[in-house]
Amino acid sequence: MSDAIKHVSEASFEADVIHHTVPILVDFWAEWCGPCKAMNPLLEEIAEEYAGRLTIAKVNADENKQLLATNNVRGIPAMILFKGGTEVARLVGATSKTRFVAFLEPHLVVAA
């Protein structure tokens, strides 16, 4: 797994996600989830291409069940985009790079 991706737990969620200064996309995944693994190369590529504008973080769903409940995650992979500590968008299920970028871009536009 690329170093460009941050691993987050229940203990670090507040500091790593809620107080994060740039938009952060949190991917809820599990070891046994095939679609989650299929998304990894895309998430790594996005982390590199959007470095400085977007942070990618991963939460292991099996090890952080409380975070599933607090974030209302009912299926994985679930990718939640936070800005300023608030959820602004969510994408559930594996998707293509085209759709993923189309999902992200409107939220990453820098105000003139």
For another protein, the binding residues (CB under 8 A) are 1-2, 33-35, 37-38, 40-42, 44-45, 61, 68, 73-78, 92-94, 96-99, 102
Catalytic status, residue 93: no
Least distance (Å) between residue 28 CB and another protein = 10
Residue whose CB is less far from another protein, 20 or 43: 43
| Selected catalytic residue, list 4, 33, 92, 101 | 33
Instruction: Render 11-28 in DSSP notation, one character per residue.
Output: TTHIIIIIT-SS-EEEEE
Do the beta carbons of residue 28 and residue 59 sit within 8 Å? yes
Nearer to another protein by Cβ, of 14 and 31: the residue is 31
Q: Which of 36, 67, 73, 104 is catalytic?
A: 36
How many residues comprise the chain? 112
Quick one: angle between helices 34-49 and 97-104, nearest 10?
A: 60
To the query of whether residue 36 is one of the catalytic residues in this protein, the response is: yes
Q: Smallest distance, Å, CB 30 to another protein?
A: 8
Omega of the bond leading into 41 within 30 degrees of 0 (cis): no
- Closest approach, Cβ 73 to another protein, in A, equals 7
Contacts of residue 69, Cβ cutoff 8 Å, sequence gap at least 6: none
- Which are the catalytic amino acids? 33, 36
